[in-house]
Structure 1
Amino acid sequence: MISLDTKEADTSLPDDIGKGEISHNEFQIDPVKEKLLLLKLDLFLTPVIMLVYLCCFLDRSNIGNVKVAGMPEDIGATTEQFSTAVSIFYATYVTFETPWAVLLKKLTPRYVITGLCVVWSLVTIFSGFITSINGLYATRLLLGVCEAGLFPSLNLYLTMVYKRQEQAKRVSYLFVSTALSGAFGGILAYAILLMDGVDGVAGWRWVYIIEGVFSVVCAIIVWFGLPNDPTKAYFLNEEQRELMAIRYAQNKQYNGSEEFSWEEVRNALRDPKLYLSGGIQFCQDILLYGFSTFLPSIIKGFGHTTLQTQYLTIPVYIFGGICFLTLAFVSDRLTLRSPFLLFSNVFGIIGYILLLTVSSNSVKFFATFLCAIAVYNGPGLNLTWLNVNIAPHYRRATAIGMQQTMGNTAGIVAGQIYTKSPFMLGHGFSLGALVVAQLLILVKIWYIKRCTAKKDKITKGEMEDTRSIKTGDWDLDFKYHI
């Protein structure tokens, strides 16, 4: 039985805990009831979150599908101009990520996520009517502004709902959506390209128009399906809302104050964990954006037709998504992050070596499956590793936004290294990025262990406490995840 009335669950509990008047240890949750609560949260929230991010990545990466369908030729774009169009998206994308992340709570998730979805949907539809490279540049820049806010917002939203040891699995849903968008994008592009010439409109234009309309529908689903306050979600009964309030209280150290704090922004910017994580994310995103955007072109280079290329991308994306779900599940169970990150990158290293050294197209196609393991596990597990080791909310919001800004500059690079088949420069650069990522992961492991050892010594009185920051993740009771 839960001894907590509804009014207290809604408002006073988090505030009281923040003042030190109530200890979260006073409240215990029945594990069976908590498991059922998590199942309900997953059933209602996960489809909405996955759908909106699938749409986002679909509208971003479909430029790879339309490339092999004749779009550059129709608008008179050279290879170099098209590569610039791929890269220019990230100029606005990285600029607006941190502001959107920090503003999420103030503007509320429903307004932010729905509004962004509506605008980028319209931009995608209008992309089907461009007639020149300048038009493509303009739509890609606008798309970057809108989509910049989605991933940080969704990621932060997950940290508002789930505990630290529950997050890798849920973050994996976002990256599985990325994989599904590649697979679904291949299927959808294959089907839509069969409309080539209908009403005198090229197939690639139909790809933009139809996928943009699909995203508008998605925005409507987000508006009605995503509660602003997860502790008061429409699909929870009174007892489950009380459980959510208790979970919030137990997670108070991680969530922190509801009030915006510039001090927490500065604290995040002074944290070495942020910059190590950002460096790792940059290396991992070289793979993510190069692979997800240019996989159709890579596979077409193996000697396949345009339509064959679209459906051959599907199993690669699905395999990468399944691998991430599996490793994320184990990562949460063991509350370990870096070992799985290092492990998944090994497959990517082998995959890119095969792409660079073998001549058999069948072996190269097999290599794309190995690359897919690192492509999705790398960015996702690294982001989770940052999520669980930064607190409270506004410090974490700043860190996530900045990490994504640093990481997503890789999209600019990806557009410049994947220019001409057989993409040796791109594969070689990706291989080098993976090796650097492995080194940075080891450095971050060392740093976190050093921080943990320092806390232990201070707790035992073996070292003077000279820390300038003593709250959030620097609290002596806060345990880092390796």
Structure 2
Amino acid sequence: MDELEKNSGEKGVVFQSEEKASPVSGRFAADSISSRESDTDGDDALKLVGKERTVEFSDEFNRKLRWKLDLLIPPLCGAVYLTQFLDKTSLNYASIMGLPITGQHYNLVALAFYIGFLAFEFPSVYLSQKSGKVAKYLGANIVIWGAVMMLHAVGTSFGAFFTLRVLLGMCESCTAPSLILIISMFYKKDEQATRISWFYVMVHKINQNGLSQIFGGFVAYGVSFSENPHIAPFKIIYVLLGGLAMLVGFAVLLWMPDSPMTARFLTEEERIACLERVRNDQGGVANKSVKKGQIVEAFTDIRLWLIVLSTLLVNIPNGISSFSNLVIESFGYTSRQTLILSTPAGAFACASTLLCGWYSDRKNERMVPIVFALIPTIVGAAMLVALNDSGKKGALLFAIYLLGTSGSTLSTIYAYNASNTSGYTKKSTVNAVTLITFGIANIVGSETFLPKDAPDYIPGKISILVLLIAQLFVSFLLRWINLRLNKKKTAQIEELKRRNGWNDADVQKEREKHAFMDLTDKENIYFVYTA
């Protein structure tokens, strides 16, 4: 064992303890198994890898494993998020394609989605945790909401659309929390923001920018040429998008893994390596037990409430997502021109999301990328207000494009939660609260763009400007808090070293023992926050 510890830091070689056979065989000595005994207080990963690291994998092996993960998990997450956003914002396309719902009824139908979303967020998150099948639960919900989407083509009354949008919100409430949990299970902290940006690039909360807007805009443009007297163009949109959702749902059910421990596309050796990759992050993997203490800690953590405030500030402007085509049309463009002119914004917004995700992991930052993303949006909102009635169509359209950069803020908030929260129940709670806040923000946002303010919607545009400026200050406050907490933990570890006569190797051993104990970030002295 001494020789193992001496050489375990070398690269390119797999080291194993003498007491443990190759992980390929899947056979462990009795003393190794005893360290993996079931512990309901600990993480499910303990059953496979135990409290102490007993095997090291080479850098080359880990790179190949990460590539294997990247070929499956982010693409499936991207397909899910693309589908969800297309379905959620299908109302925006339908609004200029013969939808029989107009005026205040349209506003109510727009916010109905978030009523269902809010009502089912907490139940959905905890049902997912208790089932222990986060991916299967997600896949089943996608199939159901695909069917609900297709039913939109049947209803024509306000009551029918309102009810279907509520059901759609209920089914889609599990999407973001499930995807964040899956990413945090399989990827290290310095990989999470990039992977989240890969699936979030499918959408953008302002102006629906992203690949979903490019894809959806061209689909809607093609459907707009339909002259079938038996089915309105907006009904065709709902049938197509509903069918796509069902296909994605079946793909998730078949291929998305619930956790590293049960990932069928990985060998047993790769499952162990996957867990060992994330051990030092101290974030844990999975636990079916809903722990009341972790829920209490989540609600008494000041950072949660600052994340709530951040989510409100950056998502209330999301109100424009259901009105962006109407705003562009008000510049003097036709309906068909509007559908095409809104699509280039997607390329600009995609670049913003990917760049912020890359920078976030590269520099181990979460709040600074948010600030970078907000500044162009603030400029765009100011242009929309200042140039209103100027007749400068090109400048106003460019301002709409600039609004898309702030869409990456929500993906960075997701990454912040994934990297800065430990304890499976606490993580689930924080994600649920964040998404509930997201729903509330969108309900409020939909009421900032009122019919009486059409077509200029000046109050709504001013709200974007004011709220995002406020978020700049909140971002710096959250960053300062995390850095301060890290300093406190560093001082506590130094005190432990002094009191117990530990060296750095001893501290590392203790850190590894704590990794899969399902401790919260506050309980675990070795957890390091990402600024």
Task: Give the TM-score of the pair, scaled to structure 2.
Answer: 0.82
Quote the residue 2:350 is aligned against. Answer: 321
CA distance 1:214–1:14, change in 2 (3 Å): farther
Does 1:69 pair with 2:97?
Answer: yes
- Residue-by-residue CA offset, 1:41-100 (whole Å, 9 max, x unaligned): 1111222111111111101101011111221xxx3x441111111112111212222322
Distance (whole Å) between structure 1 residues aligned to residue 257 and residue 51 of structure 2: 27
Give the CA deviation at 1:13: 7.4
Equivalent of 2:110 in 86, 90, 107: 86
Asked if structure 1 preserves the Cα contact closer than 8 Å seen for 2:283 and 2:419, the reply is no
CA distance 1:14–1:43, change in 2 (3 Å): farther
Does 1:413 pair with 2:444?
Answer: yes
Quote the residue 2:138 is aligned against. Answer: 113
Greater CA deviation, 137-146 or 3-12? Answer: 3-12
Give the CA deviation at 1:478: 1.4
Q: Write 1 or 2 for the structure with the bigger share of helix.
A: 1
Equivalent of 1:166 in 186, 191, 212: 191
Distance (whole Å) between structure 2 residues aligned to residue 207 and residue 266 of structure 1: 44
Equivalent of 2:428 in 376, 397, 405: 397
Distance (whole Å) between structure 2 residues aligned to residue 46 and residue 460 of structure 1: 39
Quote the residue 1:466 is aligned against. Answer: none
Equivalent of 2:121 in 73, 76, 97: 97
Quote the residue 1:438 is aligned against. Answer: 472
Quote the residue 1:373 is aligned against. Answer: 405
> Which amino acid in 2 is paired with 1:177?
M
Equivalent of 2:243 in 213, 222, 233: 213
Asked if structure 2 preserves the Cα contact closer than 8 Å seen for 1:345 and 1:378, the reply is yes
> Which amino acid in 2 is paired with 1:330?
Y
Quote the residue 2:527 is aligned against. Answer: 478
Does 1:34 pair with 2:57?
Answer: no
Distance (whole Å) between structure 2 residues aligned to residue 13 and residue 158 of structure 1: 27
CA distance 1:87–1:366, change in 2 (3 Å): same
CA distance 1:27–1:251, change in 2 (3 Å): farther
Quote the residue 1:236 is aligned against. Answer: 266
Distance (whole Å) between structure 2 residues aligned to residue 12 and residue 190 of structure 1: 62
Q: Look up the SS of the partner of 1:85 in the other structure.
A: helix
Give the CA deviation at 1:2: 4.8
CA distance 1:198–1:238, change in 2 (3 Å): same
Quote the residue 2:489 is aligned against. Answer: 455
CA distance 1:13–1:233, change in 2 (3 Å): farther
Asked if structure 2 preserves the Cα contact closer than 8 Å seen for 1:16 and 1:22, the reply is no
Distance (whole Å) between structure 1 residues aligned to residue 394 and residue 255 of structure 2: 44
Equivalent of 2:378 in 322, 338, 349: 349
How many residues get paired?
468
- Residue-by-residue CA offset, 1:272-296 (whole Å, 9 max, x unaligned): 1111011101111123x33433222
Larger of the two Rg values belongs to structure: 2
Equivalent of 1:60 in 71, 83, 88: 88
> Which amino acid in 2 is paired with 1:428?
I
Equivalent of 2:222 in 158, 178, 191: 191
Distance (whole Å) between structure 1 residues aligned to residue 528 and residue 37 of structure 2: 23
Structure 2 unmatched runs, 5+: 1-13, 17-21, 204-209, 497-517
Distance (whole Å) between structure 2 residues aligned to residue 11 and residue 329 of structure 1: 39
Quote the residue 2:507 is aligned against. Answer: none
Greater CA deviation, 337-346 or 253-262? Answer: 253-262
Structure 1 unmatched runs, 5+: 463-469
Alpha carbon RMSD of aligned pairs, Å? 2.5
Quote the residue 1:122 is aligned against. Answer: 147
> Which amino acid in 2 is paired with 1:381?
T
Asked if structure 1 preserves the Cα contact closer than 8 Å seen for 2:283 and 2:421, the reply is no
Q: Look up the SS of the partner of 1:417 in the other structure.
A: coil
Give the CA deviation at 1:256: 6.7
Quote the residue 2:162 is aligned against. Answer: 137
